[in-house]
Amino acid sequence: MKKRIALGCIFVLLFSLAGCSQSKEASVEQLLEEELSGEITVSCYDPMIYKDFFEKAAKSFEEKHPGTKINVETFAKMPDIKTSEDSKIAVVTVTKEEESQESADYIGKINTELMGGGGPDLLVMDILPFYKYADSGLLENLQNYMDADKGFSEGDYRSNIIEAMKYKGGQYLMPLDYRFDYIAYDSSLLRGDDESRLKAMADRISYNELFQIEKNSFLQENSDSSGSVRMLGMPADQVMLDELMRCDYDEYIDLENRKVSLNDGRFASLLESVKQYGTDGYLRPNTPADQLGTGDTGVPFDMSVIEKLRSEEFFFKSKSHNSLREEVLRTEGAKDGFQSFGFGGGITSGDERNDKILGLLSGHNGNKSFKYFNALGINSNSSNKALAWSFLKYLLSEEIQNDPQMMIIGLPVNNAAREELASKIITSNYGNEASSEDDQLTAEQENLVKRYRETVESLSDTLNYWPIQDDTIKEMIQQETKRFFDGSSSSGEVAEALQKKIELYLNE
Amino acid sequence: MKETKRKMYDSGLLFLLVSFGGVILFYLWPFVVSLWFAFTDSPVRGNFAGIDNFTGLLSNKAYLLGLKNTLAFIGMSVPLGMILSLLVAILILRSGRRKELFILLFLIPLVIPSGSTIFFWKALFLNDGYLNGILVSLGFGKIRWLETSAVRYVILLIFLWKNLGYNMVLFLAGLHNIPREQYEAASVDGSGAVSTFFQITLPGLTPTLVLTAIMSVINSFKVFKEIYLITGNYPHESIYMLQHFMNNMFYALNYQKLSAATCILVLMITMAVLLLLNLERGFEQ
């Protein structure tokens, strides 16, 4: 009897183990030859940016491929949207409580599904720890699909962006868009040969050098006036620290090689620099959000505060690529009326009337960083990878990337779509003239579109760095550096504590 | 007669089968399945990796740190907890009329949910907490209780506060089981308090001591809940325990390392329990 029970147990065990073992899978080439059918699910956390975009794309994909179904699922709650308006200006604020539990729940849900051998077919990497999934073999290497698919040509996309997002030699993430910040300077504040000195360093910009060049002008400017002209419109806290680290992130925390170098003195001196910039008056004493206040829903903002924020002067600004339109229109002397499109840099940029583009912030190794809004990976557990790849390819197509909604998200990675979108961006609301796609561009508009494209493309060409970041590490840095900025710990103590914590986290 | 015995035997088996089924389904089977992960290189479509995960753990700094801290904490908290609870149990036995009240007081921490006590511990030990407030008012400097190695003493205090009552009840039962005649005989022979304690009380408590030690070791693992709620996933390195490692491996999706660590832990606990039971047997003989 005992023998029988023991044998039974062994059989059941072997049977279940056999179920866990690897089954022979079809090659990518074979997968791509399959006829598209069935359904897949695209999962994303944030409903605000992604939901409409994916649902629209899913609908048009289904129309093109009858017999297929694309489900779009989101997890987080929609944020509160508040609008304040007076005769001159409309302010729309989108407020969302930091729901760390909500995001942890979403990651937990996806993790459980993935580890159970299931999960959504396409994962939008808005908050998901993509590198952990790649390490666990849960994401498909999209390079294999790109190579095997004859209908996919890498030359049609921004290859430097896609290339920079490789992880351990594999392409586990496919960006749909990219965004970057550039440095602008206020030409009205410069003195003597400052402008030519700045232009000479446009290829390798660092904040330290910028501040050195403008130090005298800064002192003179502030001795003449009320002392309210700052070097940069950022607060002397975590925000500035992030900005200083963004092009050299790997030098401090190298996630790919699990290496941490925070206790060699460089990070401590970075912390000290931020504090020193604050003490010297180079940076804002508080954030614009502090000045503005969040207010209650329905209660209008104090417009005088907004006006004050918009009139603030800074020698330098770190502005989003979205401001490039305004910059080009201003530089090219476009006719009045274009400003109604909005103030490109937002209220944090202060007075932008004399702003000029300098270039991109550069790291020690010449790194020029970018981010994305929208990037996806294919789940290795997916039972319909052919459809998942086909939909992903569709999202990358000119047809979808050309959607004006892309304009408010980021710059499309599809080259043709980006080119076409440039004219839409320039002509939208330009000179209060209504424009449609079929309208013939005027000579002035054509020139503006050309200049805008050149500006975007020349800056984009140099982008080469996408530092992989981890939310847990971000939180650790935030918690520890808070102690430095509030004066309760020294820079050395914070650097040492972070070194130990992050090292432990990465080498578990 | 034989038939009745057989019937009783059969119905007993039926009753056993239900609970045995539960143990297999919810404890043994998941453990056996997780064993498979311990021998694979990836949790999804993994290949057999031999003992790589086990050897990998032995060179894993985080695992070794967790193991070292866990052993140090057990080595510190279990003996201290046992000595204090035995002392309290003896004092309560001698306290006479207020015995029930003291027992109740020491049992209260057992019934308070961990989540609700965290607020109190945080308020006490935070940088701007009550304790630092007292220190400052007495002219001392602040101590960063939760961010330095001082946190070790904080969790030791929490462990003692939480488990003293439980161990005390076990010791009270053990003390009651020692025949009064032995104490009377010792008293007649002129034995002192210390000599009586070591010659009668301690040998009489041997089975209770073993049971308390086993329960204390198990409870020392349970204190992780409080540590986690107070200091999070990545606390100061001096209180990074094996459970931190295992919990973080779960979130990092590294099920193979998690399973290997679980196997080693199960093996270690089994060996420790067997050792304690053997010791008890030795004492009895």
Half-sphere exposure of A66 (CA within 13 A, CB side): 0
Pairing of strands A174-175, A230-232: unpaired
Read off the pLDDT of residues A44-72 as tens digits, 9 standing for 90 and up. Answer: 998 877 788 899 999 999 999 999 999 99
Residues in chain A with CB shorter than 8 Å from the CB of B230 are none
Q: Which of A13, A133, A504 sits opposite B237 (nearest CB)?
A: A504
Is B39 part of the contact surface with chain A (CB cutoff 8 Å)? no
The structure tokens listed for B16 are 């056993």
What's the pLDDT at B90? 93
What's the pLDDT at B2? 54
Q: Can you tell me the distance from the alpha carbon of A183 to that of A369, in angstroms, rounded to the nearest whole number?
A: 12
- Give a yes or no: residue A152 inside a domain: yes
CA-based nearest distance B112→chain A, Å: 24
Q: Are B145 and B151 in contact (CB under 8 A)?
A: yes
What's the pLDDT at A21? 41
The structure tokens listed for A412 are 């499309």
What's the pLDDT at B243? 93
Distance in Å from the first CA to the final CA of chain A: 46
- Backbone phi and psi for residue B274, each to the nearest 5 degrees, phi listed first: -60, -40
Q: Which residues contact A244 (CB under 8 A, 6 or more apart)?
A: A207, A270, A273, A274
Asked if the Cβ–Cβ distance from B63 to A508 is below 8 Å, we say yes
From the CB of residue B255, how many other CB atoms can be counted at a distance below 10 Å? 23
Q: Which of A17, A380, A497 sits opposite B44 (nearest CB)?
A: A380
Q: Can you tell me the distance from the alpha carbon of A364 to that of B81, in angstroms, rounded to the nearest whole number?
A: 55
Q: Could you write out the DSSP letters of every residue in B46-93?
A: --B-TTHHHHHHHT-HHHHHHHHHHHHHHHHHHHHHHHHHHHHHHHHH
> What ipTM describes this predicted complex?
0.78
Number of domains within chain A: 1
- Give a yes or no: residue A492 inside a domain: no
CA-based nearest distance B278→chain A, Å: 28
The list of chain A residues with pLDDT below 50 reads 1-2, 6-7, 9-24, 336-343, 430-435
- Amino acid making up residue A300: P
DSSP state of A410: -
Is A265 part of the contact surface with chain B (CB cutoff 8 Å)? no
- Give a yes or no: residue A103 inside a domain: yes
Q: Could you write out the DSSP letters of every residue in A303-358?
A: HHHHHHHHH--EEEEEEEGGGHHHHHHHHTTPPTTGGGG--TT-GGG---TTEEEE
Q: Positive or negative, the Cα torsion across B228, A469, A315, A217?
A: positive
Q: Can you tell me the distance from the alpha carbon of A399 to that of A419, in angstroms, rounded to the nearest whole number?
A: 13
Residues in chain B with CB shorter than 8 Å from the CB of A115 are 43-44, 253, 255
pLDDT in 10s for each residue of chain B, 285 residues: 555 566 666 777 888 888 889 999 998 898 888 888 899 888 777 788 899 999 999 999 999 999 999 999 999 999 999 999 999 999 998 887 788 888 899 999 988 888 888 889 999 999 889 999 999 999 998 898 998 899 999 999 999 999 999 999 999 999 999 999 999 999 899 988 899 999 999 999 999 999 999 999 989 988 888 889 998 889 999 999 999 999 999 888 888 999 999 999 999 989 988 998 898 888 777
- Give a yes or no: residue A394 inside a domain: yes
Q: Can you tell me the distance from the alpha carbon of A292 to that of A82, in angstroms, rounded to the nearest whole number?
A: 13
CA-based nearest distance A22→chain B, Å: 5
Read off the pLDDT of residues A320-337 as tens digits, 9 standing for 90 and up. Answer: 998 898 888 888 877 544
Q: What CATH code is carried by the domain that includes residue A86?
A: 3.40.190.10
- Give a yes or no: residue A382 inside a domain: yes
Q: Can you tell me the distance from the alpha carbon of A465 to that of A471, in angstroms, rounded to the nearest whole number?
A: 19
Which CATH class, in words, describes the domain spanning B56-284? Answer: mainly alpha
Considering only residues 229 to 268 of chain B, which have any Cβ-Cβ distance to chain A shorter than 8 Å? 233-234, 237, 240, 245, 248-249, 251-255, 257
Q: Can you tell me the distance from the alpha carbon of B241 to that of B232, in angstroms, rounded to the nearest whole number?
A: 12
Q: Could you write out the DSSP letters of every residue in A473-497?
A: HHHHHHHHHHHHHTTSS-HHHHHHH
The structure tokens listed for B201 are 């009380």
CA-based nearest distance B111→chain A, Å: 27
CA-based nearest distance B246→chain A, Å: 9
Is A112 part of the contact surface with chain B (CB cutoff 8 Å)? no
The structure tokens listed for B32 are 């056996």
Q: Residue A160: which domain range?
A: 28-177+372-412
Interface with A, mutate which of B45, B132, B237, B246 (most A CBs under 10 A):
B45
**Length of chain A, in residues:** 508
